[in-house]
Amino acid sequence: MTVRARFAPSPTGRLHAGNLRTALFNWLFARKNSGKFVLRIEDTDAARSTKAFEQAIIADLKWAGLDWDIGPIRQSERLGVYREAAEKLVERGLAYRCWCSKERLEELKKEQLAKGMAPRYDGRCRSGKTGAAEIQPVIRFLVLDGKISFTDLVHGEMSFDANSFGDFIIIGSDGVAGYNFAVVVDDAEEGITHVIRGDDHLSNTPRQMLLFNAIGAALPRFAHLPLVLGGDKAPLGKRKTWASIEELRRDGFLPLAILNSTVRLGWSPKGGDKLLELLELIEEFDLERLSKSPSVFDIQRLRGYNKEAVGGTSAHALTGILDIKCTDAVFLEKAVEAAKHCAHTLTGLKTAILPLITEPEISIEAAAVLKEPYSKAVLKAAIAALSGTDAIDEAGYKTIIEAIKKTSGENGKRLFSPLRAALTGSLEGMELVKIFSLLRGKKITERLKRRL
């Protein structure tokens, strides 16, 4: 058996960390088992689906390095396939046309709720009686009473009562396939062997199992993942833009960091919290260590992985990613190398580097420090200590700092903060020794004089 897994997003919003987790688990499982990964776009909701969202989802997956072997398959291009499959079920007596109006169904629902019953269709049109010609009927799947059981790869043995949901719609009055029917027809045609998805789809599984049996297709194995929660303990959704992959990309997070953070949302590698490359994740991934408990998307944990990922990326590669205009390519790469280990994001890396390339803007905090009387003394002492110096190595830096201490009488923050504020416009950033080495004596002196 060739393993086939799929990711089937609905293009009604941005891809978020929870969606990416589903895509990643399916992708890792397929790659681990030398199988196929299918990308399906479930866009039958014409009112909410957009091409822009589809393109954004595809772009995010490519950026993350999750390639696919088959697809993208668009459900909107397969409506005729679903209608034909539904007609075959009608011919076999496994489905039927229903002419009940929306008003009747709403009234039925109210009556059932008033009696404390779960809303379900009462089977009025099962007899095959036709309705008014002006009414476009739906097609309902015939559900017989009984238990539907399966072994979930996360939750174990699961059982549902078919009587709880009754005959459900597989083709709407507009000719569009219902979600469960389209999914089953697609999964069967694509030979999907494993369905790894969120717990929010668990209630769909018994309906889909009945449909698989009805069309004569093999059942896939199911693994339902507890949902990913935000810091507010509510499930992540498409409206929480701070967790969208697009937003995280814009904030300067690298694909490897996002994947390492995401893969631990309900699964734990044997390597613990170590940053793992994609090939290492493929090697380690299995379904046995999937958690039964919800997981929380932790932005601070992601920042930690991203700091490690930025630090482990070559300066040359980072320079190609950063949008920084600099006429001196050699200097820019040296600056990136010097700053990359102290930055949590690409945005932070860029912020640390820009003051070395252009005249820095002075922050409010830095300006306040530079107004202090002791700052003037430090800057004057630094100018004197740098006299005749250009290239500065670590030993030269120590000599200069000792000279500034001796002349100004300052130490600690009262010595280093004025220097950092004058040179970078900020009170934090990369080590001062690296700043001295990059800017060199002449440029440092010029900047210090402008701050006096």
- Non-local (6+) Cβ contacts of 313 within 8 A are 254, 340
Backbone angles phi, psi at 39, to 5 degrees: -110, 120
Given 102, 109, 147, 238, the catalytic residue: 238
Q: Which of 266, 306, 314, 271 is nearest to 290 (CA)?
A: 266
DSSP 90-158: HHTTSEEEE---HHHHHHHHHHHHHTTPPP----GGGG-----TTS--EEEE---SSEEEEEETTTEEE
- Cα(343)–Cα(76) distance, rounded to whole angstroms? 44
What's the chain's Rg over C-alpha atoms? 31
Give how far the C-alpha of residue 451 lies from the chain's centroid of Cα atoms, to the nearest Å: 44
For residues 380 and 395, what is the distance between their CA atoms, to the nearest angstrom?
21
| Alpha-carbon gap, residue 166 to 268, rounded angstroms | 39
405 counts as catalytic = no
Q: Which two tokens stand for residue 380?
A: 């004057």
Place of tokens 């040179």: 423
List residues with catalytic annotation. Answer: 238
